[in-house]
Structure 1
Amino acid sequence: MKNNKWRIKVSGICILLLLLGGFILKNTPHKTVTTDNEVKIAKGKKVDSNSDGNTSGEGNTNDYTIKNASQGIYDLNLKMDKNGKFSVKANIEVKNKGEESWDNLVFYFIPNVFTKENKPEKMKSAGTVHMQKVTLDGSDISYTLDKDTLLIKLTNKMVKGESHQVSIQYQFTVPDDGFRFTKTKNGNYHLAQWYPMLAYYTHGWLKHPYMPNSETYHTAHTDFTLSYQIPKGYIFTSTAPNENSDATSGEVKANNVKEMFVGILKNQEMQQETIDGIQIRVFAPAGHKQVLQKSFQTVKEVVHYYNQKIGKYPYPQLDVLLEEDSDSMEYPEIVTVGITDDQRGLNHTIAHEIAHQWFYGMVSEDPYTDGWLDEGLAELTAALYCYLAGGESAEKSFELATNLSNAITQPGPSNLPLDQFPEYHTYSYLYGQPVIMLKELFEEHGGLKNGFKFLAAYFNTYKFKEVNTNEFVHFAETYYHLKNRDFFMGWLDINKEDK
C-alpha cells in the first residue's frame, strides 16, 4: 500500500502521511481476537550469497513451521444495480487443517467499518451493510457482527479434517471517500475486501482490528470462483485473469491468491500487451492518454525486470488501474495507482506497487505485526529498480525512504504491531527505516548492484509461504554468513526466542 499523495513532493509526503497515520492510530480501537500469537521458526536454511538466487528454487524449507490451520475456498456471487447497490452471496468451504478443535469461525468483514456507525470520524460519507442470511451446511446459524469481525458460533466443535459450507448473504453500498473500498470521483468502484475473509487460525483465531493506515487483515493463499452481474456502461476487472471486461455478466476464477479485488469502471482507455507470457493491461480514465502511454511503458519494463531479477511472475495477467485522486494499492494480479503530474514519482509508485506481487502476493506475512516485510521490501525493490534500471542516482532513488527514516524522532523497531508505533511515524518505520538499513547491508556485502540477488534468493526460498521477522533474520544471517545479529539490533525486535 502506498498513498498517491506521497509522490507530489517528497518533503510534503512525509508530513502528510505521518499526520494521517497519527490521526488514524489515535481514533482506532485496538482489540485482537486471538489466544496465542506465537509461532515456531525453522532454522538452518540452505541459502548462500554465492548461489544464483533467482534460479535456485525454493531451498530447504521442508521443516518450515509457520502454519495456518484454517482453509477457506470461495464461491462468490456479486450483483450491482444501476444505483450502486451490491448484493452478494458468499459460499465458503471452510476446513480445519489443524490439530485443535474450533468452537467458532472468525471472518474479517471490512465493509462494516465504513458504515455510519463505524466509519472514521472525519470520513464525510458512509456505506451501508444489510446482513440477510447466514447458514452452515444449509441451516441457519448464530452469528455476531462487531465492526469488522464476523463471528459464527458453532453448535458442535469443528475437529481436525472437518469441512463445512458457510453461506453469507448481504447487501452493501460503498462510501465516496472510503479507503480501498470506495467509489471514486470518476464514478468507478474499487471493491477491496468486500466479502467475508476467513481469518488465520494459529493456536487460536488470529483476528486483528481494522486500521485504515495500513493493512491489518491476514489471509491465506486459496482459490476463488466469482460470478458477477453489472449494469451496462461499466467494465469489469478483478484479481482473476482472462476476464471479458466488456461483458456485463460472467464467471471468473483465480487460483492460489490471497484475496479477490474487483474494479468496476467506466469511461476508460486501455492499453495491453503480452510481456514474458503475461498479459499486461493498463487502464486510465478517458482524457489521460499521455499518462496512460508513459505509464504503460513503465509497467512493461518493471514487470520484465522483476521477472528477470527476482523470479517468475506465475499468473497469466496483471492489471494496473490508473485513477485520479486515488490511493495506490496492491492486490493479487491487479494494482491501483493514483495519477499525478510528477511522472518520475508516478514511475516509482508503479515500481513499488508491482513489487508487491512478489512481496505480499507470493511471499506472505502478517501485516499487522510484520508489515515492514512487504511495505519495506516493496519500497526497497522500487528504489533498487529506479537506481539500477531507471537511470536515477542512488540518492534520488532512495530519497523517499531516507526522508521517512530521518523523520523518526523516537528510535524503535520496525516490527511492532501497528497500534504500538509512535504517533505520526507508522510509515517511517514500515517504508523508511528498513529500506535504509537493508541498503546499508547490501553496501557492506558487494554493493547495491547485488541487492536483487538477495531478493531473488529470499523470494525463491519463501514463495507461497509465510515469513515473520525472525525468519527473515535467519535467512539474512545464513545468506551473508553473519557471525552475530548485531546488524539487526535496534531497528528490529529480535529478542524473542524461537520456541
Structure 2
Amino acid sequence: MSSLQAHTWWSRAGRRLLVVPLALLVAAAATGADAVTAPAPAPESEAKETTPRTATPDRLRYDVSLRGDADGSHWTGRQRVSFRNASDRPLREVYLRLWGNGDDKCGTPGKPSPVKMSKVRGGTPGRLTVNCTALRVTLPKPLARGERTAVSFDVSITVPGRNDRFGREGAFRFLGNALPVLAVHDAKGWHLDPYVSTGESFYALASDFRVRIDHPSTLKVPATGRTWTRDGKPGRTVTHSVAHRVRDFAWAAGPFRTATETSPGGVRVKSYWAPNTPAAGVRLNRKDGVAAVDRFGKEFGRYPYGEIDFVMTKKFGGGMEYPGLVILGTTEEGSAVVHEVAHQWWYGIVGNDEYGAPWLDESFAQYANARFYGWDTRDCWSDDDWPSDRTALTNSMAYWAKHRDEYHLVYTAGSCALARLERTIGADTMARLLKRYARDHWYGVSTTADFKKAAQSVTDKDLDPFWKQHRIR
C-alpha cells in the first residue's frame, strides 16, 4: 500500500479499518508517465504478457556499509552489487534505480536530489534519466549468459522533510526505497518506469542483502532482514542485517520504544513505536500482526525470513510495506497492519511488476485482509463502480496515475473480485489455488496471465465470462 494518507472505511462486523488510499489520491501529483524508457530489442519488445522470459540480471547480492549522522537525517557509505546475466543475450549495461529521487526529481541548485551516487567502479556511468531515478552503467565488456560481475559506488542519502515512506516524522526517519537497486530486463525490455507517489513503481528480483549500519546509540534502527547490534566507536552502535531473497531493503531510525516477541509459528516480531503513538493502537497492531504472519504462513506458505519489524508512528499516512519491515500510521483503532503483513507474500515472496500490474499485490493483500477479519463480501460488487470502459482492474500505474480518483478500485473492486472468484470455484478450491500459486511463484515473478491460467486449471467452469465481468484483462 502506498504511504499516502489513507481514507478509512469502517467494517462494523470486523471492527477494524479497511484502509484505502483515497483521500490524497486526488491531490497526489504523479510523475510524468512519458519519461524516457530504454528501448528493448525488437523481438522481445513485441512479446505479450506471459510469464516473463528470463529476467536479468539475477542472483543479486548487495553489500552495503552506511554511517548515519546525529539524528539519522544523512547517511553516507559504499554499496556493491554483484549479479549474473541470466539471459541468452550478452548483457552490455545495467540500470540502477534511485527511487529516493522520485518526488524531488533532479532537485534544484539549492536543494539537490536526496540520493546521490559517485565513484562508480565496474562500469561507466551515464547521465541520470527518468527524472534522476535511473542511471545507466555500461559494463567494461559484454557479460555472457551465466557470467557474474559487480558494480560498486559511493552513496549519499539525505532524508527529505516530508512525512512519507522516504521521509521523516518528528525525530523519526523512514528510509524506504532509499538504496539504489538494479532495474529488471525481461521480455518487455528494461523496466525504467517513472516514479509514482500514488501507489508503487517498483519491480525487482529476489536478492540477498548484507548491510552494516553505523549510527548513534541514541537511535534504534529497525531494518529488513535478521538484525543484531554490536558496539561501535564511543557513543555509536552498529546494526547488522542479513536478508536473503528479498526484493528491497528498508530501514528506519529514531528514539523508538521497542518490544520483541515470537509468534506461535516461530517468527520473531520486533515492534518499534514513537512515544506519542496511541498505546491501544500499538497493542492492537502487535496482536493482529503476530496473528497475521502465522495465519498467512499457513494459507500461502511459511514465512521464510524469520523476522518482521513493525514501525509505528502517530501521523504516518496509511501504511507501507517492505520485505521484513512495515511502516504504520497508528491510531487508537490500530492500522493497516494485516494488509501490510499480507504484502510479505503478495509482492514480497510472490513478486510482480508493481507499476505494470499493481492489482497483483494490492488486490491480493486486501483480499487476505478481508478474510482475516471475516468481512462480509457477498454484496461488495457492483458493475456501476466502473467509471468508463477504459477502467480495468488490471490497468497499470500509467493509467491510475492519470485517474487518481479511481485508484481505490484496485483495493475495493480487486479484493471483491477475488472474493467472488472464491465463491465461484469454492472456498476449498480457492485456498488450494492460492497456496499452490504462491508455491509455484515463490521468490519469482507472477503476471495476470499466470494467475488466470492457474485459476482455470483448478475448475471445470469456463472463467472467461468471470474475467470479462470483473475487468481482469
Query: Is the counterpart of residue 193 in structure 1 residue 177 in structure 2?
Result: yes
Q: Is this contact kept in 1: 2:357–2:447, CA < 8 A? A: yes
Cα pair 1:236 1:248 within 8 Å, conserved:
no
| Farther off after superposition, 98-107 or 329-338 | 98-107
The normalised TM-score by structure 2 is 0.85
Decide whether the 8 Å contact of 1:25 with 1:423 is kept in 2.
no
Question: Shift of the alpha carbon at 1:372?
Answer: 0.3
Question: Residues 407 and 245 (structure 1 numbering): CA distance in 2 closer, same or farther, change over 3 Å?
Answer: farther
2:148 is equivalent to residue 160 of structure 1: no
What amino acid maps onto 2:34 in structure 1? H
What does the per-residue CA deviation read over 1:271-321, in whole Å, with 9 as the maximum and x for residues that have no partner? 423431111122222244332222211112222222223321112111111
Partner of 2:351: 364
Mapped pair 1:430 → 2:410: yes
Post-superposition CA distance 1:164-220 (Å, at most 9, x none): 2211113121112153111222x1111112122111111432221111111112110
1:9 is displaced (CA, Å) by: 4.6
In the alignment, structure 2 segments of 5+ residues that lack a partner are 12-16
Judged with a 3 Å threshold, the aligned counterparts in structure 2 of structure 1 residues 297 and 15 are, in CA distance, closer, same or farther, namely closer
The one-character-per-residue Cα deviations of 1:73-101 (angstroms, maximum 9, x if unpaired) are: 11011111115221021111132121112
Q: Structure 1 residues 169 and 426 mapped into 2: Cα distance closer, same or farther (>3 Å)?
A: farther
Question: What is the identity, as a one-letter code, of the residue corresponding to 1:199?
Answer: A
Please list the CA deviations of residues 236-266 of structure 1 after superposition, one character each: whole Å capped at 9, or x if unmatched: 2111113239971143211111111111121
Question: Which one of the candidate residues 291, 300, 309 is aligned to 2:299?
Answer: 309
Q: Does 1:394 align with 2:381?
A: no
Match of 2:83 in 1: 94
Asked if residue 325 in structure 1 is aligned to residue 315 in structure 2, the reply is yes
Aligned length: 449
- Contact 1:298–1:350 (8 Å) recurs in 2: yes
Instruction: Give the drift of 1:235.
Output: 0.9
> Structure 1 residue 439 and structure 2 residue 419: aligned?
yes
Take 2:395 and 2:426, find their aligned partners in 1: how far apart are those partners?
A: 30
Following TM superposition, where does structure 1 have runs of at least 4 consecutive aligned residues deviating by more than 6 angstroms?
13-16
Cα 1:65–1:133 change in 2 (3 A) is closer
Q: C-alpha displacement at 1:469, in angstroms? A: 0.5
Distance in 2 (CA, whole Å) between partners of 1:28 and 1:41 is 23
| CA shift for structure 1 position 127 | 5.8
Q: Which moved more, 1:170-179 or 1:251-260?
A: 170-179
Deviation of 1:114 after TM superposition, in Å, equals: 4.2
Matched, 1:131 2:117: yes
Task: Assess, with a 3 A threshold, how the Cα gap between structure 1 residues 7 and 297 changes in structure 2: closer, same or farther.
Answer: farther
- Structure with greater helix share of residues: 1
Partners of 1:310 and 1:154 in 2: CA distance:
39
Alignment of 1:239-318 (within 5 A): 239-244=224-229, 248-287=237-276, 288-318=278-308
Q: Is the 8 A contact 2:107 2:113 kept in 1?
A: no
- Residue 70 of structure 2 is matched in structure 1 by 82
> Following TM superposition, by how much is the alpha carbon of 1:37 offset from its aligned partner in structure 2, in angstroms?
5.0
Distance 1:127 1:149 in 2: 12
- Secondary structure in structure 1 of the residue aligned to 2:316: coil
User: Closer, same or farther in 2 for the Cα pair 1:384/1:406, shift >3 Å?
Assistant: farther
Deviations 1:383-402 (A, max 9, x none): 01100xxxxx515xx99x76
- Whether the aligned pair in 2 keeps the contact of 1:7 and 1:340 (CA below 8 Å) is no
Residues 226 and 253 in structure 1, CA contact (< 8 A), matched pair in contact too = yes
- Equivalent position SS for 1:251: strand
Amino acid at match of 1:172: I
Residues 328-337 or 94-103, more deviating: 94-103
Q: Distance in 1 between matches of 2:46 and 2:361?
A: 20
Amino acid at match of 2:333: D
Distance 1:245 1:293, change over 3 A: farther
Q: Determine helix, strand or coil for the equivalent of 1:470.
A: helix
Kindly indicate whether residue 186 of structure 2 is the aligned counterpart of residue 202 of structure 1: yes
Identity %: 20
Q: Does 1:420 align with 2:399?
A: yes
- Computed over aligned residues only, the root mean square deviation of the Cα atoms, in angstroms, reads 3.1
Between Structure 1 and Structure 2, which shows a larger proportion of strand residues? Answer: 2
SS at 1:482's partner residue? Answer: coil
**1:352-409 Cα deviation digits (max 9, x unpaired):** 110111111111111111110110000000001100xxxxx515xx99x769x96542
**Greater RCO structure (CA 8 Å; 6+ sep):** 1
Which letter does structure 2 place at the counterpart of 1:367? E
- Work out whether residues 352 and 379 of structure 1, in 8 Å CA contact, stay in contact via their aligned partners in 2: yes
Question: What are the residue-to-residue correspondences of 1:15-26 with 2, within 5 Å?
Answer: 17-18=21-22, 20-24=24-28
User: Could you tell me which of 34, 38, 48 is aligned with 1:33?
Assistant: 38
The secondary structure found in structure 2 opposite 1:476 is helix
Cα distance, 1:291–1:88 mapped onto 2, change above 3 Å: same
Deviates most, 354-363 or 23-32: 23-32
For residues 136 and 315 of structure 2, the distance between their equivalents in structure 1, rounded to whole angstroms, comes to 35
Aligned residues of 2:64 and 2:77 also touching (Cα < 8 A): yes
Q: Shift in Å at residue 159 of structure 1?
A: 2.7
Paired with 2:46 and 2:164, the residues of 1 have a C-alpha distance of 30
The equivalent residue for 2:14 is none
Q: Does 1:214 align with 2:205?
A: no
Partner of 2:55: 68
Answer whether contact 1:4 1:337 (CA < 8 A) is retained: no
SS in structure 1 at match of 2:328: strand
